Amino acid sequence: MKQLQIALDVKSLEESIEIVKECEEYIDIIEFGTPLAYKYGSEGIKKLKETFKNKKILADFKIMDAGAFETKIALDAGADIVTVLAVSDNQTIEDSLEEVKKAGKELLVDLICVDNLEERVKYLESIGVDYICVHTGTDIQKKGATPLDDLIKVKSLVKNTKVSVAGGVKLETLEEINAQNPDVIIVGGGLVNSSTPKETAKKMKKMIK
């Protein structure tokens, strides 16, 4: 079943928690976004886990080095999923993967800024990561970029790994993204900045079912 992930990036931790409370019944994964990680550190993960005990918490650390050490920080704080950048060295990714497996948790590898997409996806699937994330970053969205083309390509390459997608997803673009059958659809501003987060999340959840 497809999952809906809310990305908490731009509001304060307190505001973010209130938004998640509003639409909690329609959310499967709560992402502790990179900006919040910079601002609140691992204590922010602990707060989310304490507040939403029955939800998966993803720590978007975007790890680039010290894979085992940084992954363990997120896991010790209560993260269920940790993110590593696909442009990292293979050793970093493999060390992070080893840590999450020891803890019975999951690893998401983010393809943001990857050029050798096919080669990287095949490698990631071969080592058994849990999620491969197609991600169009905020800055290149300003140029009109979307994750759709990369999502189509990645879905054609993977056989067993779950695929998630992020990058400007909102109600207006959800249908074409959903048509490619990603396993996880990640929504940031499209939910967080909505005047009615609960209704928006409800509509999104209904669309992806």
The conformation of residue 1, written as its DSSP 8-state character, comes to: -
- The DSSP string of 117-186 is HHHHHHHHHHHT-SEEEEE--HHHHTTT--SHHHHHHHHHH-SSSEEEEESS--HHHHHHHHTT--SEEE
- What is the CATH number for 52? 3.20.20.70
Looking at residue 155, what is its pLDDT?
Answer: 97
Report, in angstroms and rounded to the nearest whole number, the Rg of the chain calculated over CA atoms. 16
pTM: 0.97
CA 118 – CA 122 distance, rounded (Å): 6
Range of the domain at 175: 3-208
Do residues 99 and 122 touch, judged by C-beta distance below 8 A?
no
Looking at residue 28, what is its pLDDT?
Answer: 98
CA 62 – CA 42 distance, rounded (Å): 14
Q: What type of residue sits at position 78?
A: G
Along the chain (209 residues), what's the average pLDDT of each consecutive run of 10 residues? 95 97 98 98 98 98 98 98 98 98 98 96 98 94 89 97 96 96 97 96 96
CA 25 – CA 68 distance, rounded (Å): 33
Kindly state the tokens that stand for 125. Answer: 């699937």
Kindly state the tokens that stand for 71. Answer: 């992954």
Q: What type of residue sits at position 47?
A: K
Looking at residue 145, what is its pLDDT?
Answer: 81
Do residues 177 and 148 touch, judged by C-beta distance below 8 A?
yes
CA angle 121, 127, 131 (to 5 degrees): 60
- The total number of structural domains in the chain stands at 1
